[in-house]
Amino acid sequence: AGAQRYCQGRSDMIPRRLFTAALDNHKNGMAAMRRAMASAIELEVLPDLNFLLAPILAIAKIATMVGLLGTVISMIKTFNAIQDSGGGNVTSHSGAIGLALFATALGLVTAIPLVFAHVLFKSWISRQEVEMKKGAQKLLVLLQGVKPGAAAGKSTAPTTDSGIKAKV
């Protein structure tokens, strides 16, 4: 009960959801606790961590396409202007060609950092998922070492390498 209150009182989302899910199911056994934590990871925590990944990638893809569209439109206008002028002085249209290239550059300058951010965030989320699963496994190992009624008597919590009893 004390561990449950402690977990529920935590402000950080991941331990609160993960460990509370396990402790809420402790009377149903270790398998139920494991399922509850896996469910909390898959249905509660990961969706909250992933919610921005799709929009970031979508903006990056759209920015590239908008830049390309700007380039194509500008080049069409430039070639139409060259054709209308009889193709004589092409150098007078170099500014319009530069504008077309600027549109491409702007799209890429927007997209590249967003794709990079997407990759970094996705990697961070994967690492967090591994850490959550490790934490869930550690909690189960700790709770397996606690026998029912141990709170009233001597602790049966596993000890660390130094012989110090682990906190449960």
Rounded-to-integer distance, Cα 109 and Cα 114, Å: 9
- Please give the chain's pLDDT, 168 residues, in tens: 667 777 667 666 777 888 888 888 888 988 999 999 999 999 989 998 999 999 999 999 999 999 999 999 988 888 888 888 776 676 777 777 888 889 899 999 999 999 999 999 999 999 999 999 998 998 888 888 775 555 444 444 444 444 444 444
Rounded-to-integer distance, Cα 85 and Cα 91, Å: 12
CB atoms within 10 A of CB 60: 19
- CA 113 to mean position of chain CA atoms: 16
Find all residues with CB under 8 Å of 141, minimum gap 6, and list them: 158
pLDDT number for residue 110 = 94
Q: Where are the domains of the chain?
A: 2-47, 53-127
pLDDT number for residue 166 = 45
